[in-house]
Amino acid sequence: MAAFSPSQTPSTSSSPNDLSPTRKKRKAESITSLSDGPTDAEVTLETSLIANIAELFDENIIAKIFRTASSSLTDSSIFTKPDGVPLGYPETVPQTGPNAGRYEFRDPEFWTCGFFPGSLYALLERTTKYPHRSLIESSLFRPKLHDVRSQLRVLSKRWSKSLHSMAFRTDTHDIGFIVMPALKRDWEILGNEQSLRSIIQAARSLATRYVSTAGTIRSWDCLVKKEITVTDQTENVLVIIDSLCNLDLLYYASAHSGDGNLADLATAHARTLLQTHLRLEQGISVPKFGYQGQIYSTCHVANINPATGHLKWRWTAQGYDNNSTWSRGQAWAILGYAQVYTWTKETIFLDAACGCAEYFLYRLATAPGCVEIDADESQDLFPKTRTTTTKGRHVPLWDFDAPVNPEEPLRDSSAGVIAANGMLIIFQSLLGLGQDALARRFLNAALEIVQDTIDLCLAEETARFVTDGKSITVGDSIPGSIFESILKNGTANNNQHARRRYCNHGLVYGDYYLIEFGNRLLDLGLA
């Protein structure tokens, strides 16, 4: 692969044969090849799908985030003083072991630090713009919505305080994940110009990692695992699929600052990954109302030669093996390319998003039968109209090609909700192009994924607000039964060579993207 500048637009069909030896090349279709026939009954928008995800707007969602945020203020291991900055941020909630049900915190520089403040701000946004969907019922022993919203605002400010200094970091490509979930809303909802300045600074910090000869932003400075060590930056540019979701920062900052170079770098990076990270798939059975263009799986890590721009090799740091499809990586590609299209309107990126999304749905549909378990309606928080007596089909395995334990298939609930967010953006984009049938295909798929995720992974240990008229606290729906995150069944990293291998837990970004999905539905007028 030759190096190219931001102005060059390589074809998605130009990947060299030696990069995909087991995959026969196929010409990539353009957006004009999308299904445009009449809406099939199978893709008709089902209002029952939205009705079946009422838990998405339940008080439990707000109460859990509120409790972790407020209780941590008095924990000296997290806050040295209540008005200070956190010494750590929530990451995972183990489902078993001595700390089961309780958040484990990571250092404030870790890439996930922005998602918990982002969840607070997303809930502040929801209670501000859509109070009728917050489902907090006032009574003598329950707080009023405006009191909860007032506290959410205070908590959001405290948890996001240290993110402003993060904007100057040039040692990470994850700065978009770190600042955008919280600071974008702080600017848009509360009008805090400091947050906009921090976003623009963060984008400029990220731009320093752009390697022009490789046409990409360096993701990692090194890769150190049990089976591989890469540390020489003069010969290696390590790029991961997650990086696509940090490009939104560059586009947003470019639009607000007028610095077109930031957007140019983002687009160049997105084009490069079309060749380095997308793998052409052939022989995939696609429904007649599905996407009829090129289908793609993805790799996790690609190493590019900075001198030539050529792809040296592909790897995985979090998936099963170097040739497998890590489900969260596939989800990052769906969401990332969907976002890139909304900024650029270049159909090659919408094609990529659709091709990755269709492959994700194909792997859900063809997963082994053991992923389905009997649905116990007695556990539903709200009445549902079920079309099946099972659940689990639409909650992705942690890696689509990893061996599966039929007794307990290992999943990643975060991958599902991330992909669902991307599919909602695809839905909106396709509607704008008049591709209604295909748009509904991805809308219904997104709703099915989230419904199934709620059915299978929503922690049964729910929470509720209580008040004595003076202060707001959160109690367990079942006294003594606590699980601090909203979802279970996340898998942060189950790679056999990982320095830390952990799975079957709540994940802070799984919760964030679940909340984000609800807000997207509200913004679209669908809930």
Q: Three-class SS of residue 483? A: coil
DSSP 183: I
Is 284 a member of any domain? yes
Is 442 a member of any domain? yes
pLDDT at 458: 98
Is 14 a member of any domain? no
CA–CA distance from 438 to each of 31, 250, 434, 518 (Å)? 11, 29, 9, 21
pLDDT at 468: 81
Is 12 a member of any domain? no
Q: Could you tell me whether strands 390-391 and 373-374 are parallel, antiparallel, or unpaired per DSSP bridges?
A: antiparallel
Ramachandran region of residue 85, left (φ > 0), alpha (ψ -120 to 50) or beta?
A: beta
Please give the tally of structural domains in the chain: 1
CATH number at residue 267: 1.50.10.10
Domain around 388: 50-523
pLDDT at 142: 75
pLDDT at 245: 99
Mean pLDDT, contiguous 10-residue spans, the chain (527 residues): 34 33 36 45 60 91 97 91 87 98 97 99 97 73 87 97 98 99 99 99 99 98 96 98 99 99 99 99 94 98 97 98 99 99 99 99 98 82 73 99 98 99 99 97 97 97 89 92 98 96 98 99 95
Is 11 a member of any domain? no
pLDDT at 140: 57
Placement of tokens 């077109």 in the chain: 260
Is 18 a member of any domain? no
pLDDT at 478: 92
C-alpha–C-alpha distance, residues 38 and 36, integer Å:
7
Is 13 a member of any domain? no
Q: Answer for the pair 278, 359: CB distance below 8 angstroms, yes or no.
A: no
pLDDT at 6: 33
Provide Rg for the chain, Cα atoms. Answer: 22
C-alpha–C-alpha distance, residues 182 and 167, integer Å:
12
Is 20 a member of any domain? no
